[in-house]
Amino acid sequence: MAAPDIVNVTSILGKTAYDTDISNVSSAILTNATGSNKVLKVNTLIIANIDGANAADITATLCAADANFQIEAGTDGGSSGNIVLDGTDGSSTDENSAILLQETVLSSLASTISVPNDSTLVVLSKDTSIYLEEDRSIFLSASAAGDLSGTISYEELDDA
């Protein structure tokens, strides 16, 4: 894992990522993969409540990216009632499968903060920007799926 020398970068690319329908299951809005040889400077993270009637809570966490995995548990279709665990391709084993998402939380950026209907919450701004090093992700989850959307603005710094 080699973080770039941010004093001598060769490129700074401005980028934006979106999650227009934040789920009630934690999922990554931004990931800096292991071996990317980049650092991401996160300038803003804005959460908008797109529900016209109800408030919804947002949780934003900084996590280890390579520790993420998905396990689906369901019966194997036989009479034994065995549980099938598959963390490889995310394929479902049957209609009764349950999805479990596991991430290693390093820090909380926001924890169950209420976002009133038809309003926005600034979780990170230029005044509170953070660096997302290799093997780090920002995860979002909402108290009600479909009520919140997220926009994250960042710079990709590279010294290659």
pLDDT at residue 114, as a whole number: 98
pTM for the whole structure: 0.77
4 vs 135, residue with greater confidence: 135
Q: Which residues contact 8 (CB under 8 A, 6 or more apart)?
A: 159
Residue 117 binned pLDDT confidence (cut-offs 50, 70, 90): very high
Contact 56, 144 (CB under 8 A): yes
Instruction: Give CA–CA dist 58/23, Å, rounded.
Output: 10
Question: Taking CA 27 as the corner, what is the angle to CA 21 and CA 30, rounded to the nearest 5 degrees?
Answer: 95
How far is residue 154's CA from residue 38's CA, in Å, rounded to a whole number?
12
* Domains, the chain, ordered by start: 11-67+104-158 (2.60.120)
CA distance 94 to 82: 12
- Decide if pLDDT at 132 tops 90: yes
Residue 58 corresponds to which tokens in the numbers above?
Answer: 């947002």
Q: Give phi and psi for 128, each to the nearest 5.
A: -125, 30
- What distance in Å separates the CA atoms of residue 88 and residue 16, rounded to the nearest whole number? 29
What backbone torsions phi and psi does residue 146 show, to the nearest 5 degrees?
A: 90, -5
pLDDT for 92 beyond 90: no
pLDDT of residue 71: 42
Amino acid 91: pLDDT: 42
CB atoms within 10 A of CB 85: 12
Spatial distance between the Cα atoms of 66 and 131, rounded to a whole number of angstroms = 17
Q: What confidence tier does 103 reach under pLDDT thresholds 50, 70, 90?
A: low
Distance between first and last Cα of the chain: 14
Residue 86, pLDDT above cutoff 60: no
pLDDT band at 40 (very low <50, low <70, confident <90, very high): very high
What was the pLDDT predicted at 8? 86
Pick the more confident residue, 113 or 52: 113
